[in-house]
Amino acid sequence: MGLAILSLSLTLRICEWWTMNVMDIEANAIKTGGEPMLSDAYTINGQPGDFYPCSRQGVGPIAPAKVKFLLRSPSPQSVPTQIDTHLVIAASVNFLNTSGAGPFGRRFAASLNNVSFVPPASVDILQAYYKGINGVYTTDFPEKPPKGFDYTGKDLPGELLVPEFGTRAVVLEYNVDVEMVLQGTNVLASDNHPMHLHGYGFYVVGWGFGNFDSRDGPLGYNLVNPPQERHQMWGMSAVIVVKDGADSETKLLPPPHDLPSCSV
């Protein structure tokens, strides 16, 4: 009997598909304060699959083991293990207290560690940092949820619904190694929150269900060949200011001469 070792490389593009103009989805959600319209189908490599009537013949299921295999980098990575800053960030869907098309006639809001970020109206944060302008943002974003609760519990108390509104930012020294735990919550409703981080790559060293366990959770981290992520996205925001390094290569560049003014 022989042993065949199969080496398989497969690229999967996982998408959502709408029958309408996708630009109208965000515009409509902003206008009404309600939920963005759900997609008409999910696709894998452009095919909606067996659950939808319009798939091409021969589109087969993909075994989860293969997908899992893809979530590894092909070669060992140098993942930092001496961590300078630990952040635990709880992501919640909340309400504004103004009326809109969300449940109970209110507008949806969202928060990270109970802070719903309000972009500064006059000066943007990069300019404020570069020019040392005070009063545009504060540097006290909480490094963990201000009040712990059973994040993924059922029937969470209504007092969790309304967050604080403000411009709190995380401020990090240049070149520190950061561990960021993203904790989903059941506040209002559980949801998937794909994340992206502008300007920095990050390793996805683990994931799981329920509440993060700071003692046992890290034992399951993949510190050998985790995937490195460069782009994911979602509509909640928080600001992390990484301070300038020592030399010109590691400092924030001046704004371009044609930077449009955003003052109102």
Ligand X SMILES: *[C@@H]1O[C@H](CO)[C@@H](O)[C@H](O)[C@H]1NC(C)=O
Binding residues (CB under 6 A) for ligand X: these are 96-98, 114, 146-147, 159-160, 162-165
Nearer to ligand X (CB atom), residue 98 or residue 250:
98
The least distance separating ligand X from the CB of residue 149, rounded to whole angstroms, comes to 6
The least distance separating ligand X from the CB of residue 247, rounded to whole angstroms, comes to 40
The least distance separating ligand X from the CB of residue 114, rounded to whole angstroms, comes to 4
The least distance separating ligand X from the CB of residue 137, rounded to whole angstroms, comes to 18
DSSP string, the chain: -------------EEEE-SS-HHHHHHHHHHHSSPPPPPSEEEETTB--TTSTTPPTT-----HHHHHHHTS-SS------S-SEEEEEEEEEEEEEEE-SSGGGEEEEEEETTEEE---SSS-HHHHHHHT-TTS-BS---SS-SS---TT-SS--GGGSS-EEE-BEEEE-TT--EEEEEEE--SSS--------TT--EE-----SSS--TTTGGGG---SSPPEE-----S---EEEEPP-SSGGGSPPPPPTTPPP---
The least distance separating ligand X from the CB of residue 116, rounded to whole angstroms, comes to 9
Nearer to ligand X (CB atom), residue 164 or residue 179:
164
Nearer to ligand X (CB atom), residue 113 or residue 127:
113
Nearer to ligand X (CB atom), residue 99 or residue 214:
99
Nearer to ligand X (CB atom), residue 96 or residue 123:
96
